[in-house]
Structure 1
Amino acid sequence: MKIIASVLSILSPVRFLVVAFTCALLLLSSVFPAFAIDSYQSHPTEGTTQLLDIQRKTDEAGKAPPIGLRKTQNETNEGLNEVQGAADIDKQKRPENSQSSTSVEETIKNALEKVTGGK
Protein backbone atom coordinates (compact mmCIF):
# COMPACT_ATOMS: atom_id res chain seq x y z
CA MET A 1 0.00 0.00 0.00
CA LYS A 2 2.88 2.34 0.74
CA ILE A 3 4.32 1.65 -2.72
CA ILE A 4 1.10 2.71 -4.46
CA ALA A 5 0.91 5.89 -2.36
CA SER A 6 4.53 6.77 -3.18
CA VAL A 7 4.00 6.15 -6.92
CA LEU A 8 0.89 8.36 -6.92
CA SER A 9 2.72 11.13 -5.09
CA ILE A 10 5.48 11.01 -7.74
CA LEU A 11 2.99 11.06 -10.64
CA SER A 12 1.30 14.27 -9.49
CA PRO A 13 4.12 16.63 -10.58
CA VAL A 14 4.72 14.54 -13.73
CA ARG A 15 1.03 14.75 -14.60
CA PHE A 16 1.18 18.54 -14.22
CA LEU A 17 4.20 18.72 -16.55
CA VAL A 18 2.48 16.52 -19.16
CA VAL A 19 -0.65 18.68 -19.06
CA ALA A 20 1.39 21.90 -19.27
CA PHE A 21 3.43 20.56 -22.21
CA THR A 22 0.26 19.45 -24.03
CA CYS A 23 -1.38 22.85 -23.53
CA ALA A 24 1.73 24.64 -24.79
CA LEU A 25 1.90 22.35 -27.82
CA LEU A 26 -1.75 22.99 -28.68
CA LEU A 27 -1.29 26.74 -28.30
CA LEU A 28 1.83 26.87 -30.48
CA SER A 29 0.40 24.58 -33.16
CA SER A 30 -2.65 26.81 -33.50
CA VAL A 31 -0.65 30.07 -33.53
CA PHE A 32 2.18 29.35 -35.99
CA PRO A 33 0.04 28.67 -39.08
CA ALA A 34 -1.20 32.25 -38.75
CA PHE A 35 2.29 33.48 -39.64
CA ALA A 36 1.78 32.19 -43.18
CA ILE A 37 -0.60 35.09 -43.81
CA ASP A 38 2.39 37.40 -44.34
CA SER A 39 3.52 35.35 -47.33
CA TYR A 40 2.68 36.17 -50.95
CA GLN A 41 -1.03 36.71 -51.52
CA SER A 42 -2.19 35.95 -55.05
CA HIS A 43 -5.08 37.67 -56.77
CA PRO A 44 -8.18 35.56 -57.53
CA THR A 45 -7.81 36.16 -61.28
CA GLU A 46 -4.13 35.23 -61.34
CA GLY A 47 -3.52 32.01 -63.21
CA THR A 48 -7.10 31.73 -64.46
CA THR A 49 -6.13 32.31 -68.09
CA GLN A 50 -3.51 29.57 -68.04
CA LEU A 51 -5.87 27.13 -66.34
CA LEU A 52 -8.67 27.85 -68.81
CA ASP A 53 -6.31 27.24 -71.73
CA ILE A 54 -5.13 23.97 -70.18
CA GLN A 55 -8.75 22.94 -69.53
CA ARG A 56 -9.69 23.74 -73.14
CA LYS A 57 -6.85 21.61 -74.49
CA THR A 58 -7.77 18.80 -72.09
CA ASP A 59 -11.38 18.86 -73.25
CA GLU A 60 -10.29 18.80 -76.88
CA ALA A 61 -7.95 15.88 -76.23
CA GLY A 62 -10.72 13.98 -74.45
CA LYS A 63 -13.22 14.43 -77.29
CA ALA A 64 -10.84 13.68 -80.14
CA PRO A 65 -9.63 10.23 -81.16
CA PRO A 66 -6.17 9.23 -79.96
CA ILE A 67 -3.46 11.30 -81.63
CA GLY A 68 -0.48 9.85 -83.40
CA LEU A 69 3.08 9.68 -82.21
CA ARG A 70 4.32 12.55 -84.41
CA LYS A 71 1.66 14.99 -83.19
CA THR A 72 2.28 14.00 -79.56
CA GLN A 73 6.01 14.55 -79.96
CA ASN A 74 5.50 17.93 -81.65
CA GLU A 75 3.16 19.19 -78.92
CA THR A 76 5.37 17.82 -76.16
CA ASN A 77 8.43 19.59 -77.58
CA GLU A 78 6.63 22.94 -77.20
CA GLY A 79 6.60 22.73 -73.40
CA LEU A 80 6.29 20.40 -70.45
CA ASN A 81 3.75 18.06 -72.05
CA GLU A 82 1.15 18.11 -74.83
CA VAL A 83 -1.68 19.45 -72.65
CA GLN A 84 0.08 21.88 -70.33
CA GLY A 85 2.38 23.31 -72.98
CA ALA A 86 4.74 25.96 -71.62
CA ALA A 87 2.40 27.15 -68.83
CA ASP A 88 4.37 27.90 -65.65
CA ILE A 89 7.52 26.50 -67.21
CA ASP A 90 9.58 29.16 -65.41
CA LYS A 91 8.29 27.89 -62.05
CA GLN A 92 9.18 24.24 -62.73
CA LYS A 93 12.48 22.79 -61.60
CA ARG A 94 14.46 21.26 -64.46
CA PRO A 95 18.14 20.47 -65.03
CA GLU A 96 18.47 23.64 -67.11
CA ASN A 97 17.47 25.95 -64.23
CA SER A 98 18.77 23.87 -61.33
CA GLN A 99 22.50 23.91 -61.99
CA SER A 100 23.28 25.99 -58.91
CA SER A 101 21.18 23.89 -56.53
CA THR A 102 22.78 21.29 -54.28
CA SER A 103 21.71 17.68 -54.27
CA VAL A 104 20.55 15.84 -51.18
CA GLU A 105 23.83 13.98 -51.10
CA GLU A 106 25.83 17.23 -51.15
CA THR A 107 23.64 18.77 -48.45
CA ILE A 108 24.12 15.76 -46.16
CA LYS A 109 27.85 15.68 -46.87
CA ASN A 110 28.17 19.39 -46.00
CA ALA A 111 26.18 18.92 -42.80
CA LEU A 112 28.30 15.96 -41.74
CA GLU A 113 31.49 17.93 -42.43
CA LYS A 114 30.21 20.77 -40.25
CA VAL A 115 29.29 18.38 -37.43
CA THR A 116 32.52 16.38 -37.54
CA GLY A 117 34.71 19.43 -38.11
CA GLY A 118 36.11 18.01 -41.32
CA LYS A 119 37.10 19.98 -44.39
Structure 2
Amino acid sequence: MGYLLWIFGFIGAHRFYYGRQITGIIWFFTLGLFFIGWIIDLFLIPGMSRDADRRYQDGPVDYNLAWILLTFLGVFGIHRFYMGKIFTGLLYLLTLGLFGFGVLYDFLTLNGQISEKNHR
Protein backbone atom coordinates (compact mmCIF):
# COMPACT_ATOMS: atom_id res chain seq x y z
CA MET A 1 0.00 0.00 0.00
CA GLY A 2 2.86 2.36 0.83
CA TYR A 3 4.35 1.95 -2.63
CA LEU A 4 0.98 2.62 -4.26
CA LEU A 5 0.63 5.83 -2.25
CA TRP A 6 4.26 6.69 -3.05
CA ILE A 7 3.11 7.26 -6.64
CA PHE A 8 1.21 10.23 -5.18
CA GLY A 9 4.08 10.85 -2.76
CA PHE A 10 4.98 14.23 -4.14
CA ILE A 11 1.87 15.38 -2.24
CA GLY A 12 2.84 13.39 0.86
CA ALA A 13 0.24 10.60 0.65
CA HIS A 14 2.63 7.82 1.69
CA ARG A 15 3.98 9.88 4.57
CA PHE A 16 0.47 10.44 5.95
CA TYR A 17 -0.20 6.72 5.55
CA TYR A 18 2.84 5.84 7.66
CA GLY A 19 1.85 8.32 10.37
CA ARG A 20 4.40 11.00 9.55
CA GLN A 21 2.07 13.96 9.46
CA ILE A 22 4.61 16.77 9.77
CA THR A 23 6.76 15.57 6.90
CA GLY A 24 3.56 14.76 4.98
CA ILE A 25 2.58 18.42 5.22
CA ILE A 26 6.08 19.49 4.18
CA TRP A 27 5.94 17.11 1.20
CA PHE A 28 2.49 18.44 0.29
CA PHE A 29 3.61 22.07 0.15
CA THR A 30 7.04 21.46 -1.46
CA LEU A 31 6.05 18.71 -3.93
CA GLY A 32 8.04 16.07 -2.09
CA LEU A 33 10.88 18.44 -1.29
CA PHE A 34 11.07 19.39 -4.94
CA PHE A 35 10.78 15.72 -6.01
CA ILE A 36 14.20 14.84 -4.50
CA GLY A 37 12.76 13.69 -1.16
CA TRP A 38 10.04 11.85 -3.03
CA ILE A 39 12.60 9.74 -4.91
CA ILE A 40 14.66 9.10 -1.75
CA ASP A 41 11.50 7.92 0.01
CA LEU A 42 11.28 5.01 -2.41
CA PHE A 43 14.19 3.49 -0.47
CA LEU A 44 12.91 4.58 2.97
CA ILE A 45 9.47 2.95 2.70
CA PRO A 46 10.48 -0.41 4.26
CA GLY A 47 11.70 1.35 7.42
CA MET A 48 8.64 3.57 7.59
CA SER A 49 6.46 0.47 7.25
CA ARG A 50 8.21 -1.30 10.16
CA ASP A 51 7.83 1.77 12.38
CA ALA A 52 4.11 2.08 11.55
CA ASP A 53 3.55 -1.64 12.24
CA ARG A 54 4.97 -1.19 15.74
CA ARG A 55 3.01 1.99 16.45
CA TYR A 56 -0.49 1.16 15.29
CA GLN A 57 -2.78 -1.63 16.48
CA ASP A 58 -4.23 -4.17 14.07
CA GLY A 59 -7.84 -5.22 14.40
CA PRO A 60 -11.17 -5.44 12.60
CA VAL A 61 -10.75 -2.07 10.84
CA ASP A 62 -8.18 -2.51 8.07
CA TYR A 63 -5.74 0.37 7.60
CA ASN A 64 -5.26 -0.25 3.88
CA LEU A 65 -8.96 -0.24 3.05
CA ALA A 66 -9.60 2.83 5.19
CA TRP A 67 -6.76 4.71 3.46
CA ILE A 68 -7.99 3.72 0.00
CA LEU A 69 -11.49 4.91 0.90
CA LEU A 70 -10.15 8.18 2.33
CA THR A 71 -7.83 8.87 -0.59
CA PHE A 72 -10.35 8.27 -3.35
CA LEU A 73 -13.77 8.79 -1.69
CA GLY A 74 -12.96 10.92 1.35
CA VAL A 75 -15.23 13.81 0.41
CA PHE A 76 -18.18 11.41 0.52
CA GLY A 77 -17.29 10.08 3.98
CA ILE A 78 -17.15 6.44 2.89
CA HIS A 79 -14.11 5.81 5.11
CA ARG A 80 -16.10 7.08 8.10
CA PHE A 81 -18.99 4.73 7.34
CA TYR A 82 -16.44 1.90 7.12
CA MET A 83 -15.10 2.76 10.58
CA GLY A 84 -18.62 2.77 12.02
CA LYS A 85 -18.86 6.55 12.38
CA ILE A 86 -22.27 6.86 10.77
CA PHE A 87 -23.13 10.41 11.94
CA THR A 88 -19.90 11.98 10.71
CA GLY A 89 -20.11 9.85 7.55
CA LEU A 90 -23.48 11.42 6.79
CA LEU A 91 -22.11 14.85 7.67
CA TYR A 92 -19.20 14.37 5.26
CA LEU A 93 -21.58 13.09 2.58
CA LEU A 94 -23.79 16.18 2.84
CA THR A 95 -20.96 18.73 3.08
CA LEU A 96 -18.35 17.19 0.75
CA GLY A 97 -16.08 16.24 3.60
CA LEU A 98 -16.92 19.33 5.65
CA PHE A 99 -15.83 21.44 2.69
CA GLY A 100 -12.49 19.61 2.44
CA PHE A 101 -11.27 20.49 5.91
CA GLY A 102 -12.60 17.26 7.38
CA VAL A 103 -10.76 15.24 4.77
CA LEU A 104 -7.54 17.10 5.61
CA TYR A 105 -8.15 16.40 9.30
CA ASP A 106 -8.59 12.71 8.51
CA PHE A 107 -5.36 12.63 6.51
CA LEU A 108 -3.62 13.90 9.65
CA THR A 109 -5.39 11.62 12.16
CA LEU A 110 -6.71 8.51 10.38
CA ASN A 111 -4.07 6.11 11.73
CA GLY A 112 -4.80 7.18 15.30
CA GLN A 113 -8.54 6.90 14.74
CA ILE A 114 -8.21 3.36 13.40
CA SER A 115 -5.78 2.32 16.12
CA GLU A 116 -8.17 3.61 18.79
CA LYS A 117 -11.10 1.83 17.15
CA ASN A 118 -9.12 -1.43 16.94
CA HIS A 119 -8.00 -1.10 20.55
CA ARG A 120 -11.61 -1.15 21.77
* Higher RCO (CA < 8 A, seq sep 6+): 2
Structure with higher Rg: it is 1
TM-score (norm 2): 0.22
TM (normalized to structure 1)? 0.22
